[in-house]
Amino acid sequence: MAINRKNVLRDLVLSSSYKEYGRQTVQGILRSLLEPLMEQPSPEGLLLMKLSDTEGISSILKRLEFSDVKMYSYCDNLANGKVINITKDDIWDTTEFVLVLALRYSAVLIWDWKLLNNGMTQICLILNSREISDIANTMFDNSTIRLNEYLTTYAPDRREQKTMNIAINKIVDCLNNVNQEMVFTQAEKENYSDAEELTEEYRHISEKAKLTAHEIKNNVSVIDLYAKIIEKRLDGIELDEERAKSIKNSIESINNATHTISSFISELRSYSSPILSEKQLSSVVNDAIKLAKPKADEKGIILETFVDESYRVHIDETKMRSVLLNLIYNGIDAIEQNGRVSVKVGGVENNFVKLFVKDSGSGISEDNLDKIFEEDFTTKIDGNGMGLPICKKLMKEQYGDVKLSKTGADGTEFEVLIPVI
C-alpha cells in the first residue's frame, strides 16, 4: 500500500492560488476545458479524470466517448466501457482533477473541496504550458497502463505561457465573483426594497407557465387517447391497402407529435439537458416528414427525402425531430402552391453529417439575412420569431449547428450539422 505517499497534486492546489472558488465556477471551468476537444476537426487526444461526480459535463463526456479521445479515470464512478479505471495506488485522497492533452491544446484543472469547510475550494488551473508535462508525468506514475507516449504525440507548448495563464486566472476570478454575487443576491433578495414586487412578478409568471403547461398537456392527453380509440375501433375492419396505410401513418404522426409536445412541456417545468444517444438519421428524418405531410398536402407540396440508412448520429431524438420539422414547415410556408421541400445528406465532413433542407420558394430578402436567427424577428403574419433561434439553440445543445446555406429566386436551403458516430 502507498498510504504514506505524498499527494503532490494537493500541494499544487495550495501553492497555485489563495483564492476560493465555488462549485458553480469549477463546473463552468471544467466544461470550458473539455469543449475545445469537440471543436477540433478530428477530436483526438488524452483525457484523464478523477471526479466525484459529472454534474454539468455528462453530455460532453458522452459525446467524447464516440470520438478518438482516449478517456481514463482514477476512480470507479466513471469506469464504464470507454472510460477505464487506471489508478495504481490511492494516493490522491479527496483531490480531483482533469488533464487534457490534444493537438495544439493542453490543460489541467486540480481542486479539493476538503481543503476548506465552506463549500469552496482553491484550484490549480494551467493551459498550454510546459508545466503541464511535469503534472502529467506525476499522474502517469500512478497509472496502471503506460501513458508516456501521449506526451510525445501531444506535447504541451514548449514556450513559456505564464502571461496567458495569469490572464486566464484573472478572468476566472471575475467569473467567480459574479457567481458568488448571484448566489448572495438569490439568498438575500427578500431584503431588497423591491424584493416583494420582484418575487410576486416571478411567482405570477411561474404560475402562468405551469397552468399553461398543464392545460396543454391535458389536451395532448385527449388527442393521444382518441388516437388509441380510433386505432382500436379500426382493428379487425378490412380496408384497402392505401387507406389502411394512410390511417396507420396518421396515427403514428399523432403519437410522434404528442410525444414531442409532452417533452417540451416538461421543459417548461424544469430545464432538461439533451439526452444524447445513437440514432439512425433516416428514421428521424422520416418521422419529421410524416408529421409535416398533412400540412404539405394542403398546398400540393411534394416532400422528398434522400437519406439512406447508413448514417448513424449522436443526438437527442426529440429535439432533432423538432429542428427538422421546424425547417420543413418553414419551407412549406415559403411556397405559395405546388412546390417541393427536400431533405438530403450532403456527405460527412469533420465528424459531422451535413443535412440540407431545401424549398422551392421565392427566397429570403437580402435585408433580412442578418436577422433570421434573431429572437422575435419574423416575416410571417402569424409568426412569433422563435422558430430558427430555437433550432439554433437545440442544435448547439447537441454539439451541432444550423445555418443558412443559400437563398435566391429558386428557393432557400438550410444546412444542419449533426455529430456522426
**pLDDT (tens digit per residue) in 272-284:** 567 788 899 999 9
Give the Å distances, CA to CA, from 316 to 104, 337, 366, 411.
31, 33, 33, 29
Confidence category of residue 345, pLDDT binned at 50, 70, 90: very high
pLDDT tens column, 237-292: 777 887 777 777 777 767 766 666 665 555 544 445 677 888 999 999 998 898 88
| Lowest-confidence region among 156-165, 205-214, 272-281 | 205-214
Q: What percent of the chain has pLDDT over 90?
A: 25
Please say if the pLDDT value at position 395 is more than 80: yes
What whole-number percentage of the chain has pLDDT above 70?
A: 73
At the topology level of CATH, where does 275-421 sit?
Heat Shock Protein 90 (3.30.565)
| Confidence (pLDDT) at 306 | 92
- Residue 253: count of CB within 10 angstroms of its CB: 18
CB count in 10 Å sphere of residue 194: 9
Q: Give the mean pLDDT of the chain.
A: 79
pLDDT at 55: 77
DSSP string of 355-377? Answer: EEEEE-S----GGGTTTTTSTT-
With H, G, I as helix, E, B as strand and everything else as coil, classify residue 413.
strand
Domain regions of the chain by residue span: 8-190, 192-272, 275-421
Cα–Cα dist 103/378, whole Å:
42
Segment 72-123, tens digit of pLDDT: 999 887 766 668 889 888 889 899 999 999 888 888 999 998 887 677 888 8
Q: Which amino acid is at 229?
A: I
